[in-house]
Structure 1
Amino acid sequence: MDLQDQLKNLFPDHRIEESKSESITEKGIWMQDDPIICKYEKRKGKPITILEGYTGATDDFKKLAKEIKTQLSVGGSFKDDKIIIQGEYRDKIMQILKSKGFNVKRVGG
């Protein structure tokens, strides 16, 4: 007997509204109106891609950073509300973000 069955036995009249909670967890990340800015820079002679401009919770932005790093199999970090990805992956990152439903703006050459 799992926890759900025990709760049903204790509270037989209670109805669980799954539509709202599942829709939030299915998306997982809060969407925004302003585009995320995707920049390319060189630091100490090495190329990096910077994502900034996310207005949601920092935990969601950290999750997004982890997803991007694992999909591209690259290193990176999250500092000062910016995602820093090692290497020049603007096109691939923009495709990943657009598939998730974000507006992305490319900045730089």
Structure 2
Amino acid sequence: MYKKFQEKGKKMIIYNTTFHIHKDIVDECLEYLKNSYIPKASESGILYSPYLRRILDLRNEEGESFSVQFHTRDIDSLNEWVRKEGGALQQDLIGRYKEKIAGFSTLLEDIELPK
């Protein structure tokens, strides 16, 4: 899935998924993310140190956006998680909330700052 980044080496990365959730299901969906999605995603240990963050955007009255972030050791580990666990978890989320949720994922890498 993320093969083109493999040549950069095995650096720890952050797997970020941004979800936009329709206003009618925000509370219910947040409970699901906190109590089911995030625990299941980190169950194997491939993804760890989860964060759930609200994206502050006053322009959107149709819903709210949230960032779910996990650390993972490297791209190979992330690809393994997507193949073995992530796809089914995403399908469950889409099946549960249908068109009232949309999301996209990005990869982040920490850049060391001078001390």
What interval of TM-score do these two structures reach, taking the shorter chain for normalisation? 0.3 to 0.5
TM-score of the superposed pair, with normalisation by structure 1: 0.41
Name the structure where strand makes up a greater proportion of residues. Answer: 2
Higher RCO structure (Cα 8 Å, ≥6 apart): 2
Relative to total residues, which structure has the larger helix share, 1 or 2? 2
Greater radius of gyration (CA): 1
